[in-house]
Amino acid sequence: MSKPELFIVESLKFEDEREKLYEGRIISEILALSGKTCEHYYIRTKRELKEILKTFSASKYRYLHLSCHGNANSMATTLDSIPFSELGPLMGPYLDRQRLFVSACSMTNAALAEAIMPDSGCYSILGPDQKIGFSDAAVLWASFYHVMFTTDSEAMKYDIIKAKAQEVSEMYRVKLTLIRHSKSSSKKYRLRTILPRKKSG
């Protein structure tokens, strides 16, 4: 049986390491303060990603969080760039009935959905669809996970993810993309853009 816990995989540029911009580590430490179990692993290569995904599978954790750099077509580790055409087959076998959260600029989009969703059995993907600063990203994700686990510590339901994603989008003025598996869609997924509403006054 899977466990409703968070598994974080982080990879940064060397200059980010020097500045100690470890977003994933910060998220795990904040969640620990609220008593939530979380595993955090730091990697630098595509080869290490392959191995750590096996650890994720063995953990039986339900939620995978990628804290890394990326763009509209690829994910980056410290030393490697992984195009979505490679990332989909690499990650797909480990995402059946899991939820994926991506903290990487502009990476959560239709191209990522196309690479992962049709064949993996992944329930959903959530991440920013714009460039986002380190401090904003760390606080946004810590806030999101805190309210999600406070609402229900045993499960993440799609409607609650959508509602809480809207809340943090409003709070931090960040555009998010939420992708869900859909049996009724020919693409096998549906994509929703979550925008902060216009401020009144």
Q: What percentage of the chain exceeds 70 in pLDDT? A: 98
Would you say how long the chain is, in residues? 201
**Residue range 153-158: mean pLDDT, rounded:** 95
Which pLDDT belongs to residue 133? 83
How does residue 13 score in pLDDT terms, banded at 50, 70 and 90? Answer: very high
CB 11 within 8 A of CB 76: yes
Kindly report, residue by residue over 48-70, the tens digit of the pLDDT.
999 999 999 999 999 999 999 99
Kindly report, residue by residue over 77-116, the tens digit of the pLDDT.
999 999 999 999 999 999 999 999 999 988 999 999 999 9
β partners of residue 181: 189
Q: Choose which CATH entry (3.20.20.190, 3.40.50.740, 3.40.50.2300, 3.40.50.970) describes domain 3-194.
A: 3.40.50.2300
pLDDT over 60 (residue 125)? yes
| pTM of the predicted model as reported, rounded to 2 decimal places | 0.95
Which pLDDT belongs to residue 135? 80
Domain layout of the chain by residue ranges: 3-194
DSSP state of 95: -
Tell me how far the alpha carbon of residue 10 is from its chain's centroid: 11
Q: Strands 99-103 and 81-83, how do they pair?
A: unpaired
Which pLDDT belongs to residue 197? 83
